[in-house]
Amino acid sequence: MRKSYGSFQALKQIDLEIEQGEIYGLIGPNGAGKTTTLRILCTLLKPDSGSVKIFGYDLTSQADEIRKLISYLPEDAGAYKELTGIDYLKFIARFFAKDEKHFHQMVEKGVQISGLSDRLKTKVSTYSKGMTRRLLIARALMIDPKLAVLDEPTSGLDVLNAREVRNTIKEFTKNGGTVLLSSHNMLEVEFLCDRISLINSGRIVKTGAPQDLKKEFNASNIEEVFTEVIRCSGTC
């Protein structure tokens, strides 16, 4: 698919296929087109051309069906600051729960995923960036989407918070969920993603399992793979 903002072509060639139950990472530097791609897949932006299918549904003609299956965590999302964490989770669960029992299960799940325990009783305005991110991830995953689209889930988090978030994401796929995430942190994705696509200047330049890519380029990490792919593009 392709996408331009005015005369600027943000996405030149993006082709990807995600399999059920995997953690798929879109990896690349700032400005590569990760957020634009994710926003298109979540039906928030329309591609200029190309076709996208998610779980068999066509993105342009069946957007409503797709929205029911996807949960999206935007890059710069905030939560309602005047609510407590627990009230925020309840507020969201009200929209998605089928009945009262389901509502309580959902909230309980959100509480667990957030890992915020007693701090859920305090207002979101008092949370650190890491705590807010964890609350938002809980919100995105507690509704049990078929596909969770997480834009830079660990960006700006300290080591411990980032590790917790990665574990949470892994746990989610163990229970059958599928994850598409973006990251500009090429080192963390090795431990997190089953498969990755390296994206640069609006193009996917390489796709594969992190281990296979490292082998192919005889590299010790994905940062080296990326550097090598860019160096080679057009010449090798």
Ligand X SMILES: Nc1ncnc2c1ncn2[C@@H]1O[C@H](COP(=O)(O)OP(=O)(O)O)[C@@H](O)[C@H]1O
Neighbours of 211 (CB within 10 A): 10
The answer to whether residue 10 forms part of the interface with ligand X (CB under 6 A) is yes
Region from 72-80, 93-101, 125-133, 189-197 binding Mg ion, contact rule CB under 5 A: 72-80
Q: Contacts with Mg ion: how many residues (CB under 5 A)? A: 3
Among positions 1, 23, 33, 113, the unique one binding ligand X when judged by CB under 6 A: 33
Name which of Mg ion, ligand X, none residue 166 binds, using a CB cut-off of 5 to 8 Å depending on partner kind: none
User: Contact between 35 and Mg ion (CB under 5 A)?
Assistant: yes
Closest by Cα among 179, 136, 174, 176 to 155: 136
Interface with Mg ion in residues 15-34 (CB under 5 A): 34
Q: Does 183 bind ligand X (CB under 6 A)?
A: no
Residue with smallest beta-carbon separation from Mg ion: 35
Closer of 33 and 115 to ligand X (Cβ): 33
- Pick one of 18, 27, 34, 147: the residue that binds ligand X (CB under 6 A): 34
31 near ligand X, judged by CB under 6 A: yes
* Alpha carbons 166 and 229: distance in angstroms, whole number: 26
Contact segment (CB under 6 A) with ligand X among 30-38, 78-86, 87-95, 186-194 equals: 30-38
Other beta carbons within 10 Å of 76:
9
Interacting residue ranges for ligand X, rule: CB under 6 A = 5, 8, 10, 28, 30-36
